[in-house]
Amino acid sequence: MARHLTFLFADVEGSTRLAEAHPAAAGSALERYHELVDRAAHAHDGRIFERIGDGAYACFEDARSAVAAAGDLQGAIADEDWGVIGRLRIRIVMLSGDVEQHGERRFYGRPLFRTARLLTLAGGGETLLSGTTVAELGGWLPLGAILRDLGLQRLRDIPDPERVYALVHTARARSADARPIDQSEMQGTETVTETETEEEGPIRVLLVDDHAVVRRGLRGFLELLKDFDVVGEAENGREGVEAADRLAPDVVLMDLLMPEMGGLEAIAEIKQAHPEIEIVAVTSFIEEEKVTTALEAGASGYLLKDAEAEEVAQAIRAAYHGEVHLDPAVSRLLAQRMRQRKDAEPVEPLTTREKEVLSQLAKGASNKEIAYELGITERTARTHVSNILGKLGLASRTQAALFAVEHKLV
Q: Beta 251-255 vs 228-234: how paired, if at all?
A: unpaired
Half-sphere exposure of 375 (CA within 13 A, CB side): 1
Whether the predicted pLDDT of 171 surpasses 80:
no
Task: Give the model confidence (pLDDT) of 19-35 as tens digits.
Answer: 888 888 999 999 999 99
The percent of residues in the chain predicted with pLDDT above 90, rounded, is 34
Assigned CATH for 344-406: 1.10.10.10
Residue 329 or residue 303, greater confidence: 303
| Per-residue confidence band for 113, with pLDDT thresholds at 50, 70 and 90 | very high
Mean pLDDT of 194-219: 75
Q: Which of 152-166, 260-274, 291-305 is predicted with the least confidence, judged by mean pLDDT?
A: 291-305
| Per-residue confidence band for 336, with pLDDT thresholds at 50, 70 and 90 | low
202 Cβ contact list (under 8 Å, min separation 6) = 78, 226, 227, 228, 229
**Predicted TM-score (pTM) of this structure:** 0.54
Whether the predicted pLDDT of 188 surpasses 50:
no
pLDDT at residue number 343: 46
pLDDT at residue number 37: 97
| Per-residue confidence band for 40, with pLDDT thresholds at 50, 70 and 90 | very high
DSSP-assigned beta bridge partners for residue 153: 162
Q: Which of 270-279, 338-347, 362-371 is predicted with the least confidence, judged by mean pLDDT?
A: 338-347
Residue 187 or residue 344, greater confidence: 344
| Per-residue confidence band for 186, with pLDDT thresholds at 50, 70 and 90 | very low
Mean pLDDT of 226-255: 92
CATH 1.10.10.10 maps onto the chain at 344-406
Whether the predicted pLDDT of 90 surpasses 70:
yes
| Per-residue confidence band for 184, with pLDDT thresholds at 50, 70 and 90 | very low
User: What mean pLDDT is reported for the chain?
Assistant: 82
Mean pLDDT of 40-50: 96
Mean pLDDT of 44-53: 94
CATH 3.30.70.1230 maps onto the chain at 2-185
pLDDT at residue number 71: 92
Whether the predicted pLDDT of 285 surpasses 80:
no
Half-sphere exposure of 66 (CA within 13 A, CB side): 29
Residue 140 CA to its chain's centroid (Å)? 20
Residue 136, H or E segment: helix 131-137
Residue 144 or residue 4, greater confidence: 4
pLDDT at residue number 196: 36
Amino acid at 63: A
pLDDT at residue number 304: 85
Three-class SS of residue 373? helix
The domain defined by 2-185 folds into: Alpha-Beta Plaits (3.30.70)
User: What is residue 359's DSSP assignment?
Assistant: H
Residue 269 CA to its chain's centroid (Å)? 16
The CATH H-level (homologous superfamily) assignment of domain 203-337 is Response regulator (3.40.50.2300)
Query: Which of 410, 367, 398 has the alpha carbon at shortest distance from 296?
Result: 398
CATH 3.40.50.2300 maps onto the chain at 203-337
Query: Which of 323, 243, 272, 337 has the alpha carbon at shortest distance from 264?
Result: 272
Phi/psi for 93 (5° steps) reads -135, 155
16 Cβ contact list (under 8 Å, min separation 6) = none
Amino acid at 132: T
Mean pLDDT of 93-101: 95
